[in-house]
Chain A
């Protein structure tokens, strides 16, 4: 195979990897802090895509003269604010009240919540059961040679994603809020005894995980130029797998897991060009094998598995 085609695969893989990493960060944060798997997280991403799209329509209808950068900003802002509010609502209404219940109940509740989110979009969003084209938002500058296309929007999205991850890292490791988040993750009662407002920390964590997911939602729309109400199912499964590969509760691991998953998909696509649809089957298959080999994820943390 030619070098340039391979490079193209790499670029696509990096884009997907960043998207998965952003989703996986949420899974791993929620698990680290509260020991819960929030199965509706993938559908939260989807809500981000649709909130962004709604904002795009609104801007187009009322301010068609808005410059592209302004539109892009408003779309991301809409996606992030809706999803952050949704995330905090879910934390306050579902996750915290179910704290003392068996973990299985929380699992079930968040799975059902995911279904509610999906079905709400399908039923109540205009023409919600059909795929919707998602705007490019960014100028379509690109650099291309015979087989390789380096798109400006991809580069911009990738860099923004990296910035967001760096920001999350900074918040967790360098701020007072981050100190409280880590304290709650390591010993909830001890954190409370130090004067940490538990509910506030949980809300902040969910806001952060959801905000990051919302950006992944917009990224997903731009990358595929299309969104559907069901997009969160696969994204959720992939994000969750990525978080598990990296060792649940470990932010760095989740990011690594995201890129590993995208890498596996890419290998699947390259190795089986005749059956591109099997790339997910291949990737999930390898994930299962990886987990059989390292049940606690690739990044071993013997003592505890938290943030």
Chain B
């Protein structure tokens, strides 16, 4: 069974403006694949298309050899794809604990939910301490932990992470990268959107560079480190 995620010739437009025009890429199982690109390149839009929040106008998205284009979001999530969305999007008026439970929303086995909870609380002891605090009253860094922890609660086959370290201190950013690598080592495919080019390429095996809605470069992380398109995208 091929658990790859394939984007094939994806076109997305908000209202009239074309944001993605003909994007094709592949996220292989058990690897970290990163998506780089300047602000407004269309990275988050591609993720919205993947989850059916902004369905593509043309093209198809295949996961696990199944066409998931245009399925309702909960069905896509049900195939084992988790999302740590841009801007964290935690539920501010729920407790930390409830936020984590939301991550395991589709899991029916209480025993399984408990063991995943234990794992997440071990990974983020801070969340365990604050499990009954309202998530909206947590600090920015703590909210990032809630968002990451919530994503892990899915026990996904593939996890899509959109700028998890935005606004975090260097120490927390490093912590985040360590966790992402660990997720991958546990056999989960990671599709990572990040602004920290150097660190991102260091943990990824493959990468794509998006510019104005098109893939302008792709290759192994090693080869992208010195790619001119990467330089252009981030350093002008």
A-side residues, CB < 8 A to B, are 176, 179-180, 182-183, 186-187, 189-199, 303-304, 306
Contact = CB atoms under 8 A, between A and B. Distances in A.
Contact of A196 (B74, B83, B85, B92): B74
Contacts of A193: 51, 53, 73, 77, 83, 85, 89
10 contacts: A182-B93, A182-B94, A186-B93, A187-B89, A190-B89, A192-B72, A194-B105, A195-B77, A195-B106, A304-B93
Interface in B76-109: 77-78, 83, 85, 89-94, 98, 101-103, 105-106
A183 B92 CA distance: 9
Contacts of B11: none
Contacts of B85: 189-190, 193
Given A180-B105, A190-B85, A190-B89, A195 B94 contact: no
Given A183-B102, A194-B77, A195-B105, A189 B53 contact: yes
Interface string B194-232: 000000000000000000000000000000000000000
A229 B155 CA distance: 54
B74 A197 contact: yes
A195 B78 contact: yes
B73 A198 contact: yes
A183 to B, nearest CB: 6
B73 A192 contact: yes
Nearest to B134: A303
Nearest to A184: B91
A198 B72 contact: yes
A304 B72 CA distance: 27
B231 to A, nearest CB: 33
A94 B139 CA distance: 40
Interface SS of chain A: helix, strand, loop or mixed? helix
Most chain B Cβ neighbours within 10 Å, of A180, A182, A190: A190
A197 to B, nearest CB: 5
Contacts of A304: 92-93
Contacts of B91: 182-183, 186-187, 190-191
B: interface residue count bin? 20 to 34
Contact of B89 (A179, A182, A189, A195): A189
Contacts of B103: 194
A305 to B, nearest CB: 10
Contacts of A180: 105
Contacts of B154: 195
Interface hub of A180, A197, A303, A306 (most chain B Cβ within 10 A): A197
Nearest to B77: A195
Residue among B77, B83, B91, B103 with most chain A CB within 10 A: B91
B141 interface: no
Contacts of B101: 179
Contact of A191 (B51, B72, B93, B102): B102
Contacts of B43: none
Nearest to B135: A186
B88 to A, nearest CB: 9
B93 A196 contact: no
Nearest to B101: A179
A203 to B, nearest CB: 14
Given A186-B93, A189-B53, A304-B92, 14 more contacts: A176-B105, A179-B102, A182-B93, A182-B94, A187-B91, A191-B91, A192-B77, A193-B77, A193-B83, A194-B77, A194-B102, A194-B105, A196-B102, A304-B93
Nearest to B102: A194
A76 to B, nearest CB: 32
A194 B77 CA distance: 7
A190 B136 CA distance: 14
Contacts of B77: 192-195
A208 to B, nearest CB: 19
A125 B114 CA distance: 55
Contacts of B83: 193
Contacts of A194: 77, 102-103, 105, 150
Interface in B49-90: 51, 53, 72-74, 77-78, 83, 85, 89-90
A193 B72 CA distance: 10
Contacts of B136: 303
Contacts of B89: 187, 189-190, 193
Q: Which of B72, B90, B105, B154 has the most CB of A within 10 A?
A: B105
Contacts of A196: 74, 102, 105
B40 to A, nearest CB: 20
Contacts of A179: 94, 98, 101-102, 105
B94 A197 contact: no
A183 B94 CA distance: 8
A303 B150 CA distance: 22
Given A179-B102, A196-B105, A306 B74 contact: no
A176 B105 CA distance: 8
A97 to B, nearest CB: 15
